[in-house]
Structure 1
Amino acid sequence: MASLVNSRGSVPDNCSLGYFGADLVSPQPDWDPDPALPTSPLFVALYDFAARSTNELSVSRGDKLRVYKEVGEYVVARRLSGKSIGYVPANYVAKISQETPSHHLGTTPWYFSGISRHEAERLLLSPPNEHGSFLIRDSESSKGEYSLSVRNQAKVSHFRICKCPDGSLYVQKGHAFPSMEELLAFYTENWKVIQSPLVKPCVLKTPPEKDEWERPRSEFTLRKKLGEGNFGEVWEGLWRNTVPVAIKIIKQADMKAEDFTKEIQNLKSLKHEKLIQLHAVCSRGEPVFIITELMKKGNLHSYLNRKSLSTLHLLDMACQVADGMTYLEEKHIVHRDLAARNILVGDDLTCKIADFGLARLLKDDIYSTSGSTKIPVKWTAPEAANYRTYSLKSDIWSYGILLYEVFTYGQTPYEGMTNQETIQQITRGYRLPRPSTCPSEIYLVMLECWKGNAEERPTFFALREKLNSIYMADANLFAVCIQRIYQ
């Protein structure tokens, strides 16, 4: 009994922190080099990249890399200076045409390793660079030597930097310098000698904006269909053949495209131990994939059919849902489809809320009270079913129906009634009777949720506090009874 009570207040060690956290990617993927790239070409990092999981590789601008494989929008790479291998965004690296010694230059802001004359011109002529921007690069024609590229108004001038036998450097014969720094200092001061002012080192433009949540569809493999509902099909799948995930597939034809970006931004910002964590989206092309954590025991409605759960177990589940909904209430997020089928169950009877907010993405003719009526009328507050007035208070009504499902072990509410009959009866004041398996104090909570006047219904915060107090009282009473039995 103690373990059940203790589990109520604990935070899972593997609580997701968003994206594909390190705790989700412990299995090592297949790093075998691609047969198409047998020579492992040399690349250079164009931008800093911080790894976001154990399968990714952190690199700093200027790092030289061996690239073994191309995977969608990523490459599998290893730094020359280390042994770790991992994924790096392909647009963060560039191939080096030849290996040239850079000595200490890699740490300087004006040295760009491994880029061509054409690439130097492209960089210097791109914002935020202006007249007087310059860089040093490896010479393409003379191994071991360098070139100075300078932006002069709307064009780029290139100057060969030759090397003397003693290692000194020069642009003009007879005028050598012991180091690149001294050479640049001289021509910065005496720029008229080359008719090109050296004002400031070339600046890399900000790397292409990359949404860390947007992933190529090719990274995901569908394995087993788990179900189908108002929001599309749900599959069990794998990310990069390694990480188990749940994949919700939505047809773009059924979606309000103008709401998708805003709604997905909402989902990205929500993090709570009782909400299913969004991991990624594939929104480019059709169909849209929404990737979330996988809860192995399926949805609560199916799980309840086992009928092997005690009243305390059921109450614990109800408290967990109230906890998650309190968080959504604080964030002013309306679920619109709160029901046992949208609560997922994991190990240790952990319950998490799924599909919050997705109803807003579906077109009105897909999710409405007319026609083939896909709206879940028997879970929907009367003001929402009749007038599509959704609010946190309509979610409270739905939570009352969820409590009914929980304490009847998954029984369908208003069984035997059509949707139309259900709405008519509710409008006349009818309420579901107390199930024989439901404690009277829980039924009183249900009736509070089903107040006809939405403003008279409690908040989720109040419900959570009420149910927690009932749970603790019942748990303590149960513990006393057990103690007496064994005395």
Structure 2
Amino acid sequence: MGETKKDFMMKRSLNKGTFINASNYKSRWFVLDREFLRYFDGTFDKQGKQKGVIELRKIKAVENVEDHVLDRKTNVFQVVHAAQKSSDILTLYIVAQSDDQRQDWVTYLRKAAEYADAHFIPKYHKGVWMSGSYTCCNQISKNAIGCEVTSTEKEFGGVTVSSSLPPVPSIPAPAPEPTPRKVVVAVYDFTPTEEEDLQLIQGEEYEILDDSREHWWRAKDKNGKSGYIPSNYVKKKFDLEMFDWYYKSCTRERSEAILREEQREGCFLVRESSAPGMFTLSLFTTENDGQVRHYHIKKNEKGSYYIAEKYAFPSISELVHYHKHNSAGLATRLKSPPTRSGATAPATAGFSSSKFEIDPAEITIGDQLGAGCFGTVHEGKWRGKRVAVKMMKESAMSDDGFIEEAKTMTQLNHNNLVQLYGIVTKKKPLIIVTELMQYGSLLSYLRRHKARLLSKTATLLDMCSQVCNGMAYLEKRRFIHRDLAARNCLVGQSTVVKVADFGLARYVIDDEYTSSTGTKFPVKWAPPEVLSYTRFSSKSDVWAYGVLMWEIFTGGVMPYDKMKNVEVVDYVCHSKLRLEKPGACPEKIYKVMLQCWQHVLQL
């Protein structure tokens, strides 16, 4: 096949490290044809071996990069594309020899990608990915939504447009292999809040057009309408997760709390067992004033699933269908799963695929739920949706830094994190809009129910496990909480525990956070390296997690309750003593706390 365009430019290495040096950039011959952008080593006078290739139909964006942000270089442009053998999204940074050469290649590449039927993304990052975040917007997820509208979105509204190329080879290129359709089923209803989003109706099928972003996918409904949908509201067709009775990683304690809250005869769910690859059916019966029965779903030699051995079926869904009509050894026949509509639908990463700034006129502020060093928390509504509204004291925090941080925080989405939906910055005071958790802080919850909870080790351990899941998610995304404590976790329906206020401590000013040196941070939850050197890391969050476990197993007692902050510093740093084992805490669990307090950051 002949060539249509060829030029000599530089590219940045994909495995670029922390330190900048000349070896991060390589001079390459770039060759473009109908199907591929290829690059070769060699010199200006001679082309060498092929070093890489990008399939044009996998290109997501071709855009300029701000001058001087990529190692102070100019005339840089980027090619955002899907990886050849995975679903990862990669960015190739190319350094042209002049602005004219850059604009020529950007224009030509876009046309070539359109001709190859590429599906462009609506937003891109005008900066670059460096040291774990984007230079333009500080977002910490590599697949985070861009901060600038792409040129193709401005010109064509995101629709792929056929475009003729300059003269092309006479030998026609073979048609690309069709990409398998990805079909999903909506598990929850979703009502769009912006024009670019797509409505979801529970139980209906949707085709996924682009799943390159973590939390928002572009999809098409049965009528051909396309838009963005929350990825956690849909499941693959034929997977167990598409069924409303399947609660994948639900623990025994969790399932009992969910079913007891429903109080309905025959209410049931299926969950993963503690044994890998096994499943359990949890069923509520009203006998003996209400109880939850747990049945192991077993597998016979033929690979069929059963609870009662003579009633075996090829799939778990068929087993459930049978027991909906026949109890066959169960306490009662299966009737219906727990309610998943409305308030129990999971939180989305923001209200929509792109909304961050919230119009204050759309917020209704109701009763006050609490107050703290940052301001007051109220129950509120946004377009009819129940939310929590935090009204920040003007003197309590540094607004400018937090606003940038909040853009990143909306992209953090996990079942055990309180979701940040957006903020109001156009009027004072600064308002933060988050997910509403109906039972308030974990600290208050522990103190209210102390007498009942301290006798339930499994329930307390389940609370610890949920916080651990949320913190593991933050750590994986290199996000440090800095203020993990029972007061900064919230409790919702079915004793769901979620971590809140992650990252907020850096912007709050309050006496409770003052060390002996005058530095601001939560002293009684801080490890020696923070108390002595103010060095925060994921390890300091691990220390705080150990203290939070101690709070849970004491029913909400203040750590070091008889000590002042300066005494705590001496106790932890100089005497090297630790909190004593709570009376209701098993020895094994206390050993986990001690492990959290053993580390000291290498200084």
What is the TM-score of this pair, normalised by structure 2? Answer: 0.40
Q: Which structure is higher in helix share?
A: 1
Structure with the larger RCO, 1 or 2 (CA within 8 Å, 6+ apart): 1
Q: Which structure is higher in strand share?
A: 2
